[in-house]
Structures are given as C-alpha cells and as structure tokens.
Amino acid sequence: MRSAEDLADLVHSYNPKSNRAMIIAAYHYGQKKHEGQFRKSGEPYFSHPIAVAEILAEQNLDDATIITALLHDTIEDTASTKQDVADLFSPEIADLVDGVTKLTNMQLSSAETKEAENIRKLFLAIAKDIRVILVKLADRLHNMKTIKSMKPEKQAQKARETMDIFAPLAGRMGMQSMREELEDLSFKVLNPEARASLIRRFVNLQRESGDVIERITGDMNLELGKANIQADVFGRAKKPFSAWRKMQEKELTFSRLSDVYGFRIICETEADCYRILGVIHQRWRAVPGRFKDYISQPKTNGYRSIHTTVSGRDGKRVEVQIRTREMHEVAESGVAAHWSYRDGVRSQNRFSVDPVQWITKLIDQFDAESDHEAFLEAVKLEMYADQVFCFSPKGDVLKFPKGATPIDFAYAIHTRIGNGCVGAKVDGLRVPLWTRLRNGQSVDIITAQGQVPQATWLEMAATGKAKTAIRRALRAADRSRHIVMGTELLRASFDHYDKKMTDKMLDTAAKKLRIDSSQELLAQLGSAELAPRDVIKILFPDIVGEQQAEVDQKRAVIGIGPDQVIDRRPCCEPLPGERIVGIATKGKGVAIHAINCDSLLRFEDRPELWIDLHWHAGKHAAIYPVTLEVTISNDAGVLGRVCTLIGELGANISDLTFVDRKPDFYKIHVAVDLSDVEHLLKVETRLEAENEVASIRRLRRSSE
C-alpha cells in the first residue's frame, strides 16, 4: 500500500505545483475515517481509495481529482459529511465526492429500479463535472481487479453492469485503454472458459509461428529507418474479449480470424503519419476496404489515427495504427487528457474533446422521449458506435455509427427530411433505404409530400436520433387513428344507453379516470387500453352497476358495543368508505367523526375517549345526508334537471337552499342522502359532466 508521501511524490512528478500538504492531509483523513473497515478480501478498506488515486495519478490528473479519489467513500461509508469535506478541503472537492457517492448509490442495472432514469442521472452528474466519472471509472476498474473476493452472483452482476455501461462509456469518452481493461476483466467473470480457450489459442499460435510481433516490429523499424522517419513501433496481440467479440459478430472460428496482431506507430507530426502510411503500403500489400483516416475525419470523442490492414509475413493480416504523440495521448486517455497536468499547468492537448455536448444531447433526447426503454437503447447505440463519414450534396461531412443507412442520413439533416424520405442516391446511384453506408460516400435524399415514416424503418435505422423521430411519428399517426376509432366506439356506447355524448362529459370522465385529456381518453379507447364500458360506468354508474345486498344498519359500524348508540356528527358528515374514529360521549353514546375532522383537535389530550371504528365493507342504504354546494346556470329547467339526475342515481334530496342568486348563475346547497363515499363520487361525477353545472363540491364545517 503506497504511503501518503509516495502518492504526493507521484503527483508532484507531473505537477510540481501540486498542493502536497493537502494530498497528504486527505490521505490521513481518509485513512482515519476508514480505520477498522476491511474489504471482502480482508485488506484494510483504505487500500482501495489509494489504488483509485494511483490509477488517476497515472493519467496526470489534477489535485482535486486525486483528493476526491482518496475521499470518494468517506461520505457513504463513514460518519463524514459533505460539509466536513468542504470545511477541511474545499467546496469543489466536496461536490466531487458527493457526486461520486451519488453515482455509487445508483443501482444502474438493478431489476428493481428504472434503469433508463438512473442512466439519465448518471449523465446529469457527468455533465456537471466530468471528473466525477473519471473517479467512478477508476473506482470500478480497481473493484473489477479485486472482484474475486465477492460472491459469484455479485461478481456476475458487477461484470454485466461494467460490460453494458462503464466499459462502453469509457470508450465513448475516448479512454480506450481503460475500456479494454474493463471489458477483459468483465469477460473473465462472465465467460471464463471462452477467455481461457482464447488465451491458449494465442499461446499455441505464438508457438507455431514464433515471435511474429518482434519480427514485424523489426521489419517496420527497418523500413522507417530507410525513409529517415523517427517513430516508435509497438505491437501486440488482440485482447481476448476483442477477439471474442469479432468472432461472434462475424461468425468466425479462431483459425479464420484475421488481423490477430495489431501495431501502433507513434510519430511527431501529421505529415509523418502520411509518410509512414506510404512506407507501409509500399512494403506490404494493403487489404482493400480496411483503410480509415480518422485524422482528416476525427471521431466525436476526439480520436485521431490512420488505420490500415496489410498482409504481413506469411500472408498474415495485421492492423496498423499511425498517429502522433498528441493523438496517442488522447487515444489512450480520452477525456482524461483534457484534465491532465504537465509541469504544474493543465495540459493543452489540441485534440482532446470534452464530451459534455454529447451527454447534454442525450439528456435532451431522454426528456423528449416518452418511451424510456427506447432512450436506453439509443444510449447504448451511441456508446457502442463506431463511425463512418458521408458527404451531403453540398459537401458537408456527417458522422454516423457503423451500420447507418440513408434513413439515418435523412434524419441527421432534419426531422422533416427524414419523415418525408422516399428514396436515396448514394454516389449518384439509386439504392434501397436499407443500404448500409460506407466511409466517403455521397448521399442525396429524395423526399415527397405526403410520405410518412414506416414501422419497418425502425429496423433500418442505426442512430438514436432517427429511431426516436420515427417512433414519435408512428405514435402520432397511431394516435390519430385511435382517436377516430375511440370516438366511434364511445358514441356507439352512448347511443346504446340512450345518452348524448358531450365534450364536458369526456373531460369529466378523463379527470375521474386520471387521464391527461379527453383526446388521450379517446386514444386509449381506440387502442383497446380502455373499454367504453369503463367510461359509461364512471359517468352513469346507475345503469351499469352491480347489485349487492344491503348491510344491516345495526351492524353498519364495526367496533360499537351492542348497547352503544352511534351519533354521526354533522361537522364532517362521515360516509361509509371513509376512515372514521369514535369519541365516547356521556352515557352510552359514541360520536362518529371522519379521521381528518377538525373537531378531533379538541380531544387530543383525552386519548381515553377515542374508539377505533370502521365501516362495514358491504353495501349501505342511502340514509346518510351530505351537503353539496352546486353552482348552476340560471336557465329554465336546469334546477329540475339537476334534481332529476340526483334521483336517477338513487339519492334522495332532503333539503335545498338557495345561497346566492345571480342573473346568470345560482349557487345552491343540496342535502342529499347517500349510501357511501362511492355513491358521493358518482353523484359529483354525473353532475360535473353536465354543461349547465359550473362547479360542485362537498361542504364540511370546520368544527362543531
């Protein structure tokens, strides 16, 4: 375990202006807070934050990131608080530690949580400060290196999460070295037999063919020397998971796997890159279709390099990557290069890219996408994307993931162009819309008025943007058809019961069914998510209700003794179905109140008077008066209609009082005898659906 002084020396080696004292103080603070805590392996827990800090120090990151690594588990696992960290170190470090803690607490791949929403929270945290994810990636890398001490099921869960989320995220941020290591560690857990088999095959291949890497490296150095080009050549075999993925994608056996070996040539200038390319192609035969120039057309994560595949010794294919030292730094460290320090100042690598713009775009896409599973699919498409570059007729360059089609190209220009796409020309020739685009092709989209997206386009599209736009258009088209269908179905149901359908009734039914609008209600009817009977029942419960035997009124309230007398209080007029409580009164009486009645405040200090009661669950007779305040239009026949509707619902009007008369509206108090709270809801709903009823509410006195 590295000491505080050794860690401070490591940071000082690339950043002489680092705050050595603060790094040592953070080390000792974290060590003290984690004292007595141990990892599953039995090691002191603080060995983990130190290892995370070392991983980040190897990438030359700033003091705040290193200190965050040392403290990243203090808020979660110790008595330390965010304010403590802010007071002892800085608000910046406290925010970073808090951000890492929140990411740790997200169960990103848990079946019990909404994965898409948690991914969104992950991106929000990254967008706030990119260093949060750098610490989290280093944390995950060390945890994967020491995962053997976990239970097998926990190992598998962490490995899947790493493979699905953290490894591709590291790759999308340009951190290829970390991505490969995370993938290989996850592969070792998820499919150890396949990994072991691949390693044995690599060993056998090396035994059969000798040290191919050393021989080809020597040949390349010789050719570069002849051309008087200064460069470093590095060779290696493919990583086990990289080979496995290619075998699965291409359905190849190991023996048919080409370019098992890869070489990187690191030089000083861009001009040298192209000179080296010429040397390589002069000496070895280039494999057609395997050349990519990411220097003239960089990836969105800042990656720049020339890729070519050539036939090397004995006809073996090898991939060659050519890049400058600056490009190599970004290729290995990605966004970390944006935050790295050299000689006490932020390293100004002109090729590093801050991915916040990409992350912000994904967050906006989430907010616009109602189907969060579709968002999750789009995120994974974006993170795994390998890119191709195509030209518009005007010469603009557009970037797409591998496998993109003219459909993706159309939506990349504009959603309107995508929706109206009927065909495409690639390099001047008409092609089907499912054609996969290749690097350097020129694409011209053909549109027509009246064209709408087709469901089959979802299978053709490869970009999240195109898929989201297609789904939105399909939903809009389906919604229009469903609304028409729903309207006809509901009108037929109204006619069946000899009722007239009005907009007010639809609005009322939507409100009672907790549906956003009457249009959405009709759409749900048309898509069979809702039945017309459900709407009729909520508006006219009397004509579709079920018969049920009435409760014996002597047993209406449960919890009352045989000789006790109940008194339903007028202050709250409790109804069967509502929560109630009894208050013992003089003699053998029990006053029944609704549980939220203000009158109960007077008995807070008299717990001996309280009696636990509840209503019988059966159907009650309509004998419980409730006062309603109804505002109706001052037109002939309206009051009679209101009274008739109440009667049709099986409720009796025991009193009616005019409380306010205006030229256009009347406000009346109606005492109605009801059976239960559901009966009340039916009366309120039915009256509210009438055009002549402006408002209706239940009246309750504040106290007795």
Q: Which of the residues are catalytic?
A: 76-77
Nearest residue to 392 via CA among 465, 463, 444, 462: 444
Instruction: Locate all alpha helices (DSSP H) within 433-517, ordered by sequence.
Output: 457-460, 464-496, 503-512
Torsion of CA 53, 57, 60, 64, to 10 degrees: 30
Classify residue 93 as exposed, middle or buried by CB count within 10 Å of its CB (0-12, 13-18, 19+).
Answer: buried
DSSP assignment of 511-563: HHTT-S-HHHHHHHHHTTSS-HHHHHHHH-HHHHPPP-PBPPGGGSEET--TT
Per DSSP, 568 falls in state E
> Using an 8 Å Cβ cutoff, are 677 and 577 in contact?
yes
Amino acid in position 591: A
Instruction: Locate all alpha helices (DSSP H) within 72-211, ordered by sequence.
Output: 74-77, 82-88, 91-105, 115-128, 131-145, 152-161, 167-172, 176-190, 192-209
Q: How many CB atoms lie within 10 A of CB 523?
A: 24
Instruction: Please tell me whether residue 269 adopts helix, strand or coil conformation.
Output: coil
What separation in angstroms does the CA of 475 have from each of 278, 381, 434, 530, 549?
A: 53, 22, 22, 17, 46
Which residues does 703 contact at the CB level (< 8 Å), separation at least 6?
571, 598, 599, 601, 602
Amino acid in position 244: W
